[in-house]
Amino acid sequence: MPPLLSPIADSNKFSLNASGVAGFFGGDEAVTAMATVHLYRGRRWLGWYNSPGSYTIAKEFGRISKSRIWSGLFPGSNHDPAIAFKLDVKTGPKYVASRSGTIMQQTGHFAHLLTQGTDDVAPFSLPATRTTTNSRISIVTVPEIAYHNLPVQTMSYHHAIFASFPILVSITTCVFSALYADWYCFAMILLGIISSGVTCFVIGSGVLDIETVKNPAEGSPPGDGILLMQNGVIILKGKEKDVNAITKGKFSLKLKGAPEYTAIGLCSLLLEVQFLLQLLLIPQGSLIGQIMFLTSVVASWAYNSFLASLDNEKLQRKLFCDTIKLHETAILGFKAGTRTSMAAFTCFVLCENLPRPLKDIEPMKILLEFLPNETPVWQKWREQVVAQVEKEEDDTSIFQPGDVDLSGLNSSEQTLLATLLQDANDAPNTTTIRHFFVAYPI
C-alpha cells in the first residue's frame, strides 16, 4: 500500500536509530511513575501511552512474580508488592508507651510518615529563659478508627488531565506513522501503548489496605506514648488499637494471582519483548517514523517525570491521614528552647488529667528516655521533676533549688541544677500552657 503522505527526507541517507534509547531512557522516572498507580483514583486506566524505560520497568517489577520461571527471567530477591511500590520501605523512630510499658526500638512506615508531617503544623513557642537547641514537640490525638469499614482513600481524578497529554501524543504519532506507511514504527508505537497500558491496568488493579494490630488484648491500657526523634518528640494519645495504626501500621498491597503473581510476570515479559523488538525494528523505519516514535517517547517521558517529581511520601501521608481521619486539628505543635524543657513538658502532658497518686505511669522512666545521664545533678533534677509532676493539678508552685537536697553538690553543680530546674519550670507550669490544654483538650 503506498503512503498517503510523502516523507520530507530520505530515510536511506539518515537514521536516528532511537531503538536503544527507548528501552533505557527515562527508566527511573518510569519506575517512579508506575509506583504512583495505587495512589490516584482511576490511575490504572491511564497508562495507554508509549512509555520509555520498558526494560527497567520489567526488571524492577518482574521480581514480584514468584516461580522458578520468573526467577530465571528476572533474577534477584523477590519483592513483596508493598515494598516494590515503595509503600513499606521506611522505618520510624523509637516508641515508648507510657501506660503499657511497651518499648519498640523501631516503628513502622506510618510512624515515619507522621514524623515527616508534623513539621507542617505551626508550633507554639514555650517560654524559654535560655535557648540551646530548639526541640520540636507534637501532640497527636489519634481518633477512633473503624477498622471494619476502612477503605484507603485515594487522590482525586485531577491527574487525568495531565495523563491525556502522552496518550494523545502516542495515538497521534501512531496514526501519522501509518499515514506515512512506516509500519515498523507504527507497530512499535502501538506495541508500546498496549504493553504500557496493560501493565498499568494489571498492576493498578491491586487493592491498597492498612495492615496493623487491629485487636489488642482485652483490658489493654490506653496507647499513650512517645516517638523519640533526634531533635524532637511526638506524643501520641489514644486507644491502644488506634495508636497501633501509627506505631505498627503499614500499607499492604493485595495483587491478584498471589503468591505467584503470574499476570505481573507476563506483563514484565511483554515489556522485555517490546524492548527487543524495538532494537530490531525501529532502525528499519523511515526518518519520519523514527521522529514519530521519538516524539511519543519524549512526551511520555515528560509525563513520567511529572509523576516522579511529586513527593511520594507526602501523598502517602495524606492518604493515611485521610483514611484514619487524622486531621491537622488533632495535632498541636510546640517548640522548646532546651531538651530539658522538652523532657519536662512531655512528662507533664502524659500525666495530665490522670488521677493522683499516679499508678499506671512512671514519670521517671519517661525522663530517662530523654536524659539518661546518671550524674548527681541529673539524678536530683529528675527526682524534683517527678515530684512536681505527681502533685495535684491545681498546684501552681514552681521548681525551686531550695526544695532539693543539695548535699554532695559543689557550687558549680548547684548552679547547673538551678538552671536545669528553671528549664523545667519554663515548660509545664505556666498559665499560658494550661490555657492550651483547655482550648485544645488532649
Identify the pLDDT of residue 396. Answer: 47
Sorted by sequence, the CB contacts under 8 Å of residue 72 that are 6+ apart come out as none
Q: Which amino acid is at 366?
A: I
Q: Which amino acid is at 90?
A: K
Burial of 394 (0-12, 13-18, 19+ CB in 10 A): exposed
- Whole-model pTM: value is 0.84
DSSP at 224: -
Check residue 53 and give left, alpha or beta (phi > 0: left; psi -120 to 50: alpha).
left
| Under 8 Å between Cβ of 347 and 385 | yes
Can you tell me the distance from the alpha carbon of 431 to that of 423, in angstroms, rounded to the nearest whole number? Answer: 16
Can you tell me the distance from the alpha carbon of 52 to that of 45, in angstroms, rounded to the nearest whole number? Answer: 18
Sorted by sequence, the CB contacts under 8 Å of residue 319 that are 6+ apart come out as 39, 152, 153, 154, 155, 208
Cell 502516542 found at: 170
Residues of the chain with pLDDT under 70: 1-24, 149-151, 153, 155-157, 392-403, 428-442
For the chain, first and last CA: distance in Å?
A: 77
DSSP at 338: S
Of the candidates 234, 248, 216, 243, the one whose C-alpha atom is nearest the C-alpha of residue 88 is 248
Q: In DSSP terms, which residues pair with 140 in a beta bridge?
A: 236, 331
Q: Which three cell numbers stand for residue 355?
A: 488521677
Helix (H, G, I), strand (E, B) or coil at 433: helix
Q: Apex CA 38: angle with CA 34 and CA 44, to 5°?
A: 70
Sorted by sequence, the CB contacts under 8 Å of residue 400 that are 6+ apart come out as 421
| Strand stretches in 238-307, DSSP E | 250-254
Cell 517527678 found at: 386
Sorted by sequence, the CB contacts under 8 Å of residue 22 that are 6+ apart come out as 52, 54, 192, 275, 278, 282, 293, 297
